């Protein structure tokens, strides 16, 4: 959900309920993932570098992916906090293919939206789970992670919470380290971090934490995480830019559609743009003042408000009182993941009720002003350290539009800025048809996907898979 529109259990009891078996291992990581064989019981893994963290993991073969690949689910336990994950081995060559992690945004939304509606091995429909031939595990070993605690099947004991991206990054980096350090067949394998929407805020910070943990790994003589890239779809990376693009999206043909608003409404919106841009630049980007930035953002969102449109897909019209029509898709996923037999198969012990998006988590991040902050400096640092970045966007999205994301990459302060900005957008093709536009230089790639929404793989599954595969192979679109 958009940032502005937006469990109490004992670890011992949960472990007993899952009949966990303790699997010890050294920092040399002599445990292959294939040694986790139980479909009923968790195997619990720990690591000396993270004495307060452990992983409970079990086999869930046959769930979602109908092609026979090995499937795993489980929790990362961080003292009283427990993050749930799904892992699907590659359909092609799991022994050689890269590892890809996917998270959804919110803040506070489960990655099951990506898993069951977008890019996972199956799609949830009114007829049940159906095979997805365009799953992103076609050529990658694929994670879906529900974070922070309180999201999806993730839960906390004693009311513990995480309310900032920086705090969430510590837990996510710990999980990644434990996985790669434990399962020897993946150690040193190329790793990519991907997601959409508020993941544009999350992922740059999470990736920076992984890099920082790699420095510790080098000191301790461990193999560092081979972080190759960060992939952000319709990202909420710089809050200050989001509403500024509404005029372009609704009053010009930037979306690929004719202007959507009456001329008088566009005149009024355009008149407020200079003040909005000046105010948010001063208080949210050049310097950061919580109160002033918040006031500027609220003013600009109000000035750019456009009732009657689905802000995730402006080709859809909604009732004026509801700019988020289409939520019936996630309601079906919620009903499915609350079925007792599904929870049992996955080993999901908590919470009692699964929801696709957690209002309490979203509100907590808002109250901590996390939604005001700008993650662009982290992307700049990642580029300087050789981590490649892909920012892509569906052209029908208003919430985190392709226009605002293009502004964001043009404003980045890094050594390749001048050369990147001099390059014009060029068409990229799929199956003989123009699929969008792209520009790339020195590790940074920006791409649009025509006629796609906030969640690109829903409308353009084949195109988005091709885009991913080309980027991971470091080949041009």
Q: What is the mean pLDDT of each run of 10 residues along the chain (477 residues)?
A: 35 32 37 70 77 86 92 89 94 97 95 97 92 97 94 88 93 87 88 98 98 92 95 94 92 96 94 92 88 91 85 85 67 92 91 90 92 94 98 96 97 97 98 97 98 97 98 95
The DSSP result for 80-138, as a single string, is TEEEEEEEE--SS-TTTSEEEEEE--TTTB-THHIIIIISSSEEEETTEEEE-TT-GGG
HSE-CB of 465 using CA atoms within 13 angstroms:
18
pLDDT at 77: 86
pTM score = 0.90
Cis preceding linkage at 148, omega within 30: yes
pLDDT value of position 8: 26
Of the candidates 105, 91, 332, which has an alpha carbon nearest to the alpha carbon of residue 196?
105
Residue-level pLDDT at 326: 62
Q: What value does the CA radius of gyration of the chain take, rounded to a whole number of Å?
A: 22
- The per-residue pLDDT for 174 is 86
State the Cα–Cα distance between residues 381 and 281, nearest whole angstrom: 21
Q: Which residues, 6+ apart, have CB-to-CB distance to 356 below 8 Å?
A: 109, 110, 112, 113, 152, 330, 331, 333, 334
Output the pLDDT for position 30. Answer: 47
Name the residue among 69, 103, 97 with its Cα closest to residue 85: 103
CATH number of this structure's domain 11-163+175-237+375-472, picked from the four choices 3.40.50.720, 3.50.50.60, 3.40.50.1820, 3.30.70.20:
3.40.50.1820
Please list the active-site residues. Answer: 197, 397, 454
Question: What is the structure's pLDDT at 328?
Answer: 67
Q: What is the pLDDT of residue 160?
A: 80
- Locate 306 and state its tokens: 């456009």
What is the architecture, at CATH level 2, of domain 242-319+365-370? Orthogonal Bundle (1.10)
Q: Do domains 11-163+175-237+375-472 and 242-319+365-370 have the same CATH topology?
A: no
294-299, long-range: CB within 8 Å, 24+ apart, which pairs?
Answer: 294/369, 294/372, 296/240, 297/4, 297/239, 297/240, 297/243, 297/372, 298/4
Q: Where are the chain's structural domains? A: 11-163+175-237+375-472, 242-319+365-370
What whole-number distance in Å separates Cα of residue 5 and Cα of residue 10? 33
The predicted pLDDT at position 169 comes to 96
């Amino acid at each position: 959900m958009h940032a502005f529109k937006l469990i109490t259990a004992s670890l011992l009891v949960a472990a007993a309920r899952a009949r966990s078996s303790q699997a010890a291992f050294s920092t040399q990581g002599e445990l292959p993932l294939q040694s986790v064989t139980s479909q009923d019981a968790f195997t619990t893994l720990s690591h000396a570098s993270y004495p307060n963290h452990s992983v409970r993991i079990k086999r869930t073969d046959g769930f979602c992916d109908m092609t026979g690949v090995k499937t795993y689910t489980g929790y990362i336990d961080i003292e009283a906090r427990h993050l749930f994950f799904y892992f699907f081995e590659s359909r092609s060559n799991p022994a050689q293919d890269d590892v890809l992690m996917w998270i959804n945004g919110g803040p506070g939304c489960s990655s099951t939206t990506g898993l069951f509606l977008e890019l996972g091995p199956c799609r949830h429909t009114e007829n049940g789970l159906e095979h997805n031939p365009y799953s992103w595990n076609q050529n990658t070993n694929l994670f879906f992670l529900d974070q922070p605690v309180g999201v999806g099947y993730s839960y906390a004991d004693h009311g513990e919470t995480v309310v900032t991206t920086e705090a969430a990054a510590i837990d996510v980096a710990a999980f990644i380290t434990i996985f790669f350090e434990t399962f020897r067949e993946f150690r040193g394998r190329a790793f990519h971090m991907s997601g959409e929407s508020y993941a544009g805020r999350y992922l740059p910070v999470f990736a920076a934490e992984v890099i920082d943990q790699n420095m510790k790994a080098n000191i301790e003589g461990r193999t560092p995480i081979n972080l190759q890239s960060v992939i952000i779809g319709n990202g909420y990376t710089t809050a200050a830019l989001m509403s500024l693009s509404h005029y372009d999206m609704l009053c010009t043909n930037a979306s690929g559609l004719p202007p959507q608003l009456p001329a008088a409404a566009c005149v009024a919106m355009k008149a407020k743009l200079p003040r909005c841009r000046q105010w948010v630049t001063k208080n949210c980007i050049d310097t950061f003042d919580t109160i002033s930035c918040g006031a500027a953002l609220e003013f600009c969102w109000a000035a750019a408000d456009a009732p009657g449109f689905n802000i995730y897909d402006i080709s859809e019209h909604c009732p004026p009182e509801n700019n988020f029509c289409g939520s019936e898709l996630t309601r079906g996923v919620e009903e499915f993941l609350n079925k007792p037999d599904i929870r049992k198969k996955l080993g999901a012990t908590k919470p009692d009720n699964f929801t696709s998006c957690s209002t309490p988590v979203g509100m907590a991040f808002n109250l901590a002003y996390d939604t005001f902050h700008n993650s662009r400096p982290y992307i700049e640092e990642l580029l300087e350290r050789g981590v490649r970045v892909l920012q892509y966007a569906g052209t029908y999205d208003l919430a985190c539009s392709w226009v605002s994301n293009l502004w964001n990459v043009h404003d980045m302060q890094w050594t390749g800025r001048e050369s990147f900005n001099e390059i014009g957008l060029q068409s990229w093709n799929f199956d003989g048809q123009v699929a969008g536009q792209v520009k790339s230089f020195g590790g940074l790639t920006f791409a649009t996907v025509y006629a796609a929404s906030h969640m690109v793989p829903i409308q353009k599954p084949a195109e988005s898979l091709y885009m991913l595969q080309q980027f991971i192979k470091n080949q041009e679109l």
